[in-house]
Structure 1
Amino acid sequence: MAYDFLEQSTRLMKQAAEIGEINPDVVELLSGPGRLIAFRIPLKMDDGSSRVFDAYRVCHTDALGPTRDGTRISPDLNLDECKALALVMSIKHAAGRIPAGGGKGGIAADPGKLSKQEFERLCRAYIRYLRPSGPDCDVPGADVGTDMQSMAWMLDEYEQITGHHAPAAVNDKPPILGGTLGGYEATGLGVFEVFEAAAEQIDFKLEGARVAIQGFGQVGSVAAKAFQDAGCKVIAIREIDAGVYSEDGLDIDKLLEYREENGSLEDFPDADSISNEDLLTCDCDVLVPAALQGVITKEVAENVKARMVVEAANSPTTLEADEILLERGVTVVPDVLANAGSVHLCQMERTQGLSDDYWGAETISEQRRRRLVHSYQKAAEIAEEHGIKSVRLGAWIHALKRIEEAVLARGWC
């Protein structure tokens, strides 16, 4: 059966709400998005023809502050995926004590099949259709299929429409336009920093720890380098089309150079090939799913050999698999904490944009690490208070309690 991201996320929210004794009216309010729009973008192509693209924006709840982040441009994007991502983003913000709600959206399109000019027109058209939007309402950011250039186009379009500069209206833009330093590495480094905090709590030794990583994109590659620099041994890495394994450890810099030259990890010298299935269950100490949703299923969980699972991807572990891992004594570092580095960076970007006071890389790095570590420690503390093993549920309970407080203070329930 296909993985149902929205069903799993909603079920997890209700499970956390029951344990945390969240007001039932608040749970009902949070069981669906507070606002959503679906629209169609007509686009004139370079050859003179026209195409129409489906697009969405989902704002889950703005009880804590403006909804923020996440603009995906991918061929299979649909409204349910946006709903699930917006819910999870609300939890990430609240669990990190960020005064914002969850926003996600995007366009069902393949950027690889569009020219640069077509892609720019599509990004600009998307921002024109967002109603309402702006620094104090709803702030889009980058996600799958978008980057700093995409956000630069969107910011420029917003400012052309409104007639004034507003760097806080769009996240993940280039520093020259009011973006923040440290954007590329924020999530990958954050994955390692939260892992480090979790490892310290269970007295897990980093030196020589064997790490397997599924996914070697922006997040996976940065995390892999951080693990290696800390003395861990990265023994397995898998991308979409190829995977490599070496019991003695892989050289991450050489892997990156090889992929840059060859376009793939296939036939990387002095290493064996490895499949996705074998990577997830290989003999390692730390497993880092950094690619797809729902890859650690019940069947996979029963064969995971890692002592720790660090979720760099969104929702890579099903709820059934999560229970099995916990029963087997595996420490699961959940996605809403482990991959929240860019979420905290966006909050810092907003603060800098509103104040017109921009920080150096050292300040940003220290702020990111401090916020991520505190969020993990708080989630672990709440899990212990409720007598549960799951730090994931601890994070969701903490987030829901903060949202509940805001909702009740506003008189919405």
Structure 2
Amino acid sequence: MYDFLKQSTELMRQAAKIGEINPDVLELLSGPGRVTSFRFPIKMDDGSTRIFQAHRACHTDALGATRDGTRISPDLDVEECKALALVMSIKHAAGRIPAGGGKGGIAADPRKLSKHELERLCRAYMRHLRPSGPNTDVPGADIGTDMQCMAWMLDEYEQITGYHAPAAVNDKPTILGGTPGGYEATGAGVFEVFEAAARDIGFKVEGARVAIQGFGQVGSIAAQCFQQAGCKVVAVREVDSGVYAEDGLDVEELLKHREEKGSLEGFKNAKSITNEELFACDCDVLVPAAVQGVITKDVAETVKARILVEAANSPTTMEADELLLERGVTVVPDVLANAGSVHLCQMERTQGFSDQYWNTDTIKEERRKRLVRGYQEASECAERYGLKSVRLGAWINALKRIEEAILSRGWC
């Protein structure tokens, strides 16, 4: 069974050894700085009461307030929150964002809740979350939450404190101080970092054959970006269905088909495909955009793609990553590839404090520049240490920035 926290911690230790990170700093970073677990009751629409379990893990605030990530998922547990918080710390630091990693949420199935029940759940989570606030710990959206959920959380925080604080919650609607481009930030960012990696290795983007596992918000936006750049999206898979077309799928038509039918199955001029078949299909670019741990060593042995772009968090195991690199596959790591939303959240925070809001074009260009810079710095770091792995380059860069902040503060 895939142990997300164990894998993330081991990756950090490997990067720390190569980067010669201070042992005391590494020990401090080997666990979260703070974990909060709490239970609370919710009145359901039928008058009954249900108790919900919630968590929040804050990895380190050496660089700044911990931020982002609020999941509402049936299987959420505290270990997953710890692992995600660690990855968020690395993602922030690798992108030169002055923030620490925070991740949390509620163990619940949002699909089985009415709108009013979901609102009560989000508001109760914010009431019970301690500490929180723009200069302490800032929740953002994640799996099972959206802008509406964040709007409820922000309103609850402001009702409790008695003052407006748009920087207290990320990923909220623009009318409440959110920033344009939030919906597409991660998916579009996946393509932008892919472009930087493609330039780095002399890979021709136009005409590239792309397979995408995961067709939610991130995967579908990324698919549209690939298609608009002249790539052929040949395979798409989501939880219960998948399709393949040798000559390429029309992404817009596929989205319409799913909207009408509730599934990818039956799409014209395409055949059904499983996850295993998608990973092994004839493609140039493979994009896992669903959940962690899906690219195992066994799967990696079947991959034909030249570039693997991690749109999901930690989709590739360490064994698989090593095998892919040995086979000459370029791996664009999650902490760089899916960092579009964390850069957007940083811009949202800046605007929330200043009360000065930027236009969409400025935000898109700033996001692209920051993402490309992060990839270039990680690639240069990997080269400096004689590594094939851009992932290790990104983690070393991040750990060195966090180390500098910790030592400057006198914590170690």
Task: Render the CA deviation track for 1:350-394: whole Å, top value 9, x for unaligned.
Answer: 000000000100000000000000000000000000001000000
Q: Which runs of no fewer than 5 residues in structure 1 stay unpaired?
A: none
Q: Please give the per-residue CA displacement for 1:200-254, whole angstroms capped at 9, x wherever unaligned.
A: 0000001111000001110000000100010111100001111110110110111
1:175 aligns with 2:161: no
Shift of 1:45: 1.2
Could you state the TM-score of these two structures normalised by the residue count of structure 1?
0.99
1:341 counterpart letter in structure 2: G
Tell me how far apart the structure 2 counterparts of residues 30 and 304 of structure 1 sit (CA, whole Å): 34
1:72-111 correspondence to structure 2 within 5 Å:
72-111=71-110
Question: 1:367 maps to what in 2?
Answer: 366
SS of the aligned residue for 1:292 comes to coil
Show the counterpart of 1:408. Answer: 407
What SS does the aligned partner of 2:363 have? helix
Aligned-residue RMSD, C-alpha: 0.5
1:309 aligns with 2:295: no
In structure 1, the partner of 2:244 is: 245
> In structure 2, the residue corresponding to 1:208 is in which secondary structure?
coil
Deviation at 1:63, TM superposition (A): 0.0
- Aligned pairs for 1:164-313 (under 5 A) are 164-313=163-312
Distance 1:395 1:344 in 2: 16
Letter in 1 for 2:11: L
Q: Structure 1 residue 46: deviation in Å? A: 1.4
The 1-side partners of 2:252 and 2:299 are apart by 30
CA distance in 1, matches of 2:115, 2:306: 45
Supply the AA of the counterpart residue of 2:232.
K
CA distance in 2, matches of 1:201, 1:171: 33
SS at match of 2:371: helix
C-alpha separation in 1, matches of 2:394 and 2:400: 10
Question: 3-state SS of the aligned residue for 1:126?
Answer: helix
Task: Report the TM-score when normalising by structure 2.
Answer: 1.00
Counterpart amino acid of 2:48?
Answer: S
CA–CA distance in 2 between the matches of 1:243 and 1:48? 40
- Aligned residues between the structures: 412
1:58 corresponding residue in structure 2: 57
How many angstroms apart in 1 are the aligned matches of 2:98 and 2:296? 33
Q: Matches of 1:293 and 1:102 in 2, distance apart?
A: 18
Sequence identity (%)? 79
Query: 1: distance between equivalents of 2:118 and 2:214?
Result: 26
Quote how far apart the aligned CAs of 1:75 are: 0.4
Letter in 2 for 1:243: G
Q: Find the counterpart in structure 1 of residue 70 from structure 2.
A: 71
Structure 1 runs of 4+ with >6 Å offset: none
Distance (Å, rounded) in 1 between the aligned partners of 2:179 and 2:383:
36
Structure 2: runs of 5+ lacking an equivalent = none
CA deviation string 1:176-222 (max 9, x = no partner): 00000000000000000000000000000011110000011100000
1:44 Cα deviation after fit: 1.2
| In 2: Cα distance, 1:240 partner to 1:59 partner | 30
1:264-323 C-alpha deviation (Å, 9 max, x unpaired): 111111111111000001111000000111111001111110000000000000000000
Quote the Cα distance in structure 2 between the aligned partners of 1:14 and 1:313: 22
Aligned letter for 2:123? R
Amino acid corresponding to residue 284 of structure 2 in structure 1:
D
**In 2: Cα distance, 1:257 partner to 1:75 partner:** 28
- 2:27 is the counterpart of 1:8: no
Q: Could you tell me which amino acid in structure 1 is paired with residue 314 of structure 2?
A: S
Deviations 1:317-368 (A, max 9, x none): 0000000000000000000000000000000000000000001000000000
In the alignment, which residue of structure 2 is the partner of 1:148? 147
Q: Which residue of 2 aligns with 1:39?
A: 38
> Partner of 1:365: helix, strand, or coil?
helix
User: Following the alignment from structure 1 to structure 2, what is the Cα–Cα distance between the partners of residues 306 and 338?
Assistant: 17
Distance 2:140 2:402 in 1: 22
Secondary structure of 2:35's aligned partner: strand
For 1:85 and 1:9, the matched residues in 2 are separated by: 9
Note the C-alpha offset of 1:128.
0.6
- Distance in 2, Cα, partners of 1:75 & 1:380: 37
CA deviation after TM superposition for structure 1 residue 87, in Å: 0.2
Matched residue type, 1:14: R
Cα distance in 2 for partners of 1:394, 1:61 equals: 20
- Structure 2 distance, partners of 1:350, 1:285, is 37
Distance 1:218 1:116 in 2: 20
1:162 corresponds to 2:193: no
Kindly provide the amino acid, as one letter, of the partner of residue 245 in structure 1. Answer: Y
Question: Alpha-carbon deviation of 1:114?
Answer: 1.1
TM superposition shift of 1:166: 0.3
1:397 equivalent in structure 2: 396
What SS does structure 1 have at the residue aligned with 2:331?
strand
Q: Which range moved further: 384-393 or 46-55?
A: 46-55
Find the residue that maps to 1:149 and give its secondary structure: helix
